[in-house]
Amino acid sequence: MAKVKVGIVGSRFQADCIAASVKMMPDESEVVAVASPTPGNAEAFARRHGIAKSYTDYRDLLRDPEIELVSITAPNRMHAQITIDAARAGKHVVCEKPLCVTLEEADAMIDACAKAGVLLLYAEELFFAPKYVKAKQMADEGAFGRVHLVKQGEKHSGPHSDWFWDVEQSGGGALMDLGCHGIAFCWWFLGKPKVKSVYAQLSTQVHGARTQGDDEAITIIEFENGAMGVVENSWNRPGGMDDSIEVFGDKGQTYADMLMGNALPTYSEVGFGYAVEKASTTTGWTYPVYEEHWNYGFPQEMRHFARCVRGTETPISDGETGRVVQEVLYAAYASAGLGRKIELPFRPRGIAKPIDLWKRPELAGQ
Ligand SMILES: NC(=O)c1ccc[n+]([C@@H]2O[C@H](COP(=O)([O-])OP(=O)(O)OC[C@H]3O[C@@H](n4cnc5c(N)ncnc54)[C@H](O)[C@@H]3O)[C@@H](O)[C@H]2O)c1
């Protein structure tokens, strides 16, 4: 089958990850163009990854007839507009997490893609992370009996780009940035049950001078089947990225540490090139990872999305997934603002960004 032709919007952190991941699955898809607004960045990115075409305006990329699938790796605030423009141009879309900033945007994105007859694929790579997939396979086989508690945590020392810290562009802090993974993970792991209620405790412990956003977040999700999800996020954990899960049932449990659990416990007095994302040093004891993209599931995610475009697989993560996550994010911010749990469905209208529900709980209308 012909390779799916991919255009990437954005040329920095996640764009590098997607370009490298697509290359790891060379039979499935190929990046043929990149667009990024800062002069010179798209060209440099194209040279680095051996990509034929580069644009400064993503709308030029959307006009490129060769492109079938657009991967959006721009800041959160841009996701909705780029998705809608891509759908109107007849392109399938892979949108990075979180899907967007507001629930109205989520609806508009899903609607635009449905009307245009294109796929809206939500890039939640944890659904493809080999260690987490193995945990789910065991759970689905009944290894742990009835699973009643799933925990996921993602914690690091804080984002690499300024826009994440500006809640106008990001929509929120660590919960919005990292919690979107854990919310999606717990929901997927448990078989996508309806969410019944959400409780969250948020605070800004360390980075108050830099951001209005939360830098510590604990979210408890109650599902309709009685199971619970616990999501823990932080922008205050030096020492490199920490991504791990715990699963508990009445017949057993499993634990998986995606990065340090796969790493080489290493001691070096002089240091070396790279240990793991967000690690500030490679001297002393460190935990260098290998096959980082593979362990996260990015190549497997892009392979699945390419196959969805070719019609040989059905999306396991789509716009609806992103909207479920978005509603839980709203509920979590509102819960932290009101100091109590929020029952779903929870669809307050006209919220400019999720974090407003924490800062101004009266917006929740409850
Ligand atoms: N799945 C994951 O684990 C993961 C990891 C990192 C980032 N992300 C997500 O990917 C997205 C990008 O994050 P990042 O870390 O790459 O950020 P980044 O700051 O490293 O890169 C953002 C890119 O978007 C470009 N951009 C800005 N405005 C644009 C516009 N109007 N049109 C086109 N491009 C524009 C910038 O020039 C830059 O190239 C975010 O939504 C983020 O949450 C996901």
Enumerate residues lining ligand 1, CB below 6 A. Answer: 9-15, 35-38, 41, 58, 73-76, 78, 96-97, 123, 125, 161, 163
188 neighbors 248 (Cβ within 8 angstroms): no
* 25 alpha carbon – ligand 1 mean position (Å): 22
Closest Cα to atom 40, ligand 1: which residue?
A: 75
* 252 alpha carbon – ligand 1 mean position (Å): 39
pLDDT at 169: 98
* 7 alpha carbon – ligand 1 mean position (Å): 14
Residue with tokens 């590098």: 16
Residue with tokens 């993602």: 154
Closest Cα to atom 43, ligand 1: which residue?
A: 97
pLDDT at 1: 84
Q: Give the nearest ligand 1 atom to 45 CA.
A: 39
pLDDT at 366: 83
* 12 alpha carbon – ligand 1 mean position (Å): 7
The length of the chain is: 366
* 170 alpha carbon – ligand 1 mean position (Å): 10
* 224 alpha carbon – ligand 1 mean position (Å): 34
* Ligand 1 probe mutation, 18, 34, 36, most atoms within 8 A of CB: 36
Closest Cα to atom 21, ligand 1: which residue?
A: 12
* 9 alpha carbon – ligand 1 mean position (Å): 8
pLDDT at 104: 98
pLDDT at 173: 98
* Ligand 1 probe mutation, 9, 14, 34, 242, most atoms within 8 A of CB: 14
Average pLDDT across each block of 10 residues of the chain; the chain has 366 residues. List them in order.
Answer: 96 98 98 98 98 98 98 98 99 98 98 98 98 98 98 98 98 98 98 98 98 98 98 97 98 96 95 95 96 97 98 98 98 98 97 98 93
Closest Cα to atom 3, ligand 1: which residue?
A: 125
* Ligand 1 probe mutation, 36, 73, 165, 167, most atoms within 8 A of CB: 73
* 201 alpha carbon – ligand 1 mean position (Å): 27
* 74 alpha carbon – ligand 1 mean position (Å): 4
Q: Give the nearest ligand 1 atom to 125 CA.
A: 1
* Ligand 1 probe mutation, 96, 160, 166, most atoms within 8 A of CB: 96
* 10 alpha carbon – ligand 1 mean position (Å): 6
* Ligand 1 probe mutation, 8, 9, 11, 12, most atoms within 8 A of CB: 12
- How far is residue 184's CA from residue 202's CA, in Å, rounded to a whole number? 19
Per residue, what are the HEC states of the chain? CCCEEEEEECCCHHHHHHHHHHHCCCCCEEEEEEECCCCCHHHHHHHHHCCCEEECCHHHHHCCCCCCEEEECCCHHHHHHHHHHHHHCCCEEEEECCCCCCHHHHHHHHHHHHHHCCCEEEECHHHCCHHHHHHHHHHHHCCCCCEEEEEEEEECCCCCCHHHHCHHHHCCCHHHHHHHHHHHHHHHHCCCCCEEEEEEEEECCCCCCCCCCCCEEEEEEEECCCCEEEEEEECCCCCCCEEEEEEEECCEEEEEECCHHHCCCEEECCCCCCCCCCCCCCCEEECCCCCHHHHHCHHHHHHHHHHHHCCCCCCCCEHHHHHHHHHHHHHHHHHHHHCCCEECCCCCCCCCCCCHHHHCHHHHCC
